[in-house]
Amino acid sequence: MKGNVHANLAQNGFLSFCGYDEPKWQGNAVSIQHFEETDQDAIIHYLYEEWLRRSWLSISPRLLDEIVGAVWEIFTNAFEHSETQYGVFTCGQKYPTLNQLNLTLVDFGIGIPANVLRYAKQKRRDPDSITSDKALQWAFTKGSSTKKGKKNAGVGLDLLKEFIRLNKETLEFYSNDGYVFIGNDKEIYKSGLPEVEGTVINLMFRCDEKYYHFSDETIDDIWA
């Protein structure tokens, strides 16, 4: 293993997590964490204390709350839809030179395209004609949800997408053989990539509040 890769894996606690005698240390890494279930308090604490507060030089409480709200949509989505048997793993990294902060989430669940194809089959559509890129595009469309059930749903990814777009961040999903990139005013969907068991999500944030677009101070009529 290359020295810098080894150092990074030791620093964020991956090696000690895997049983090696390599204690993690506080550098630019955000330590690896395993959430077996939707433990709201533990996840929110991780996002505030491990990921955001330690890595950002200055950030207003309001922006902090908005970012945590947007990122929570990913966690809850992973637990609700992925059918993961192993929970969700997450870690992060600060890049001081680029002034950027990364967060990665991994589940080993069914994968978004497989989930959409199963749903299409239930709806008596032809799953063979839906490629992973199109399945992902469907999942990212407002109002789409494979878990409608008794309640309306399907706005979580749309909210996240809007937050990413407004704040000029980037978001990547690798799921089964599909890939999504959202950022730089573009949305790119691909299929035919090497198969991933489950979903890997990469978020890249800029560590400078001046780039952020706060939600409009004017409170719109909520019912309109």
Partner 1 sequence: MNIKVITLTGEHCISVDDGQKIFDLVHPLLEKGEDVTLDFTDIHVCASPFFNTAIGQLLKDIPIEELQGHLKFVNLSPYGNQVAKKVISNAKEYYSNPNLQKAIDDTLLGIAESA
What values do phi and psi take at 186, rounded to 5? -130, 155
Closer to partner 1 at the Cβ: 6 or 147? 147
Q: Which of 1, 5, 57, 222 binds partner 1 (CB under 8 A)?
A: 222
Tell me the closest approach of the beta carbon of residue 151 to partner 1, in angstroms: 5
Tell me the closest approach of the beta carbon of residue 20 to partner 1, in angstroms: 35
Window 40 to 99, contacts with partner 1 (CB under 8 A): 40, 44, 61-62, 65-66, 68-69, 72-73, 76, 80
- CA dihedral of 31, 37, 43, 46, whole degrees rounded to 10: -20
Tokens read off for 107: 């589940």
The helix or strand, by DSSP H or E, that contains position 116, with its residue range, turns out to be helix 112-122
- Residue reference for tokens 């964490």: 33
- For residue 152, state whether it binds partner 1 (rule: CB under 8 A): yes
Tell me the closest approach of the beta carbon of residue 140 to partner 1, in angstroms: 11
- For residue 184, state whether it binds partner 1 (rule: CB under 8 A): no
Could you tell me how many residues make up the chain? 224
- For residue 191, state whether it binds partner 1 (rule: CB under 8 A): no
- For residue 211, state whether it binds partner 1 (rule: CB under 8 A): no
Nearest to 43 by CA among 77, 76, 86: 76
Q: Which of 24, 54, 134, 206 binds partner 1 (CB under 8 A)?
A: 134
CA distance 46 to 142: 28
Nearest to 200 by CA among 82, 116, 51: 82
CA distance 106 to 75: 10
Number of residues that bind partner 1 (CB under 8 A): 49
Tell me the closest approach of the beta carbon of residue 12 to partner 1, in angstroms: 25
**154 CB-near residues (< 8 Å, 6+ apart):** 142, 143, 144, 145, 148
Closer to partner 1 at the Cβ: 10 or 103? 103
CA 46 centroid distance within chain: 14
Instruction: Enumerate binding residues for partner 1 (CB under 8 A).
Output: 38, 40, 44, 61-62, 65-66, 68-69, 72-73, 76, 80, 116, 120, 123, 125-126, 129-131, 134-135, 137-138, 141-144, 148, 150-156, 158-159, 214-220, 222-224
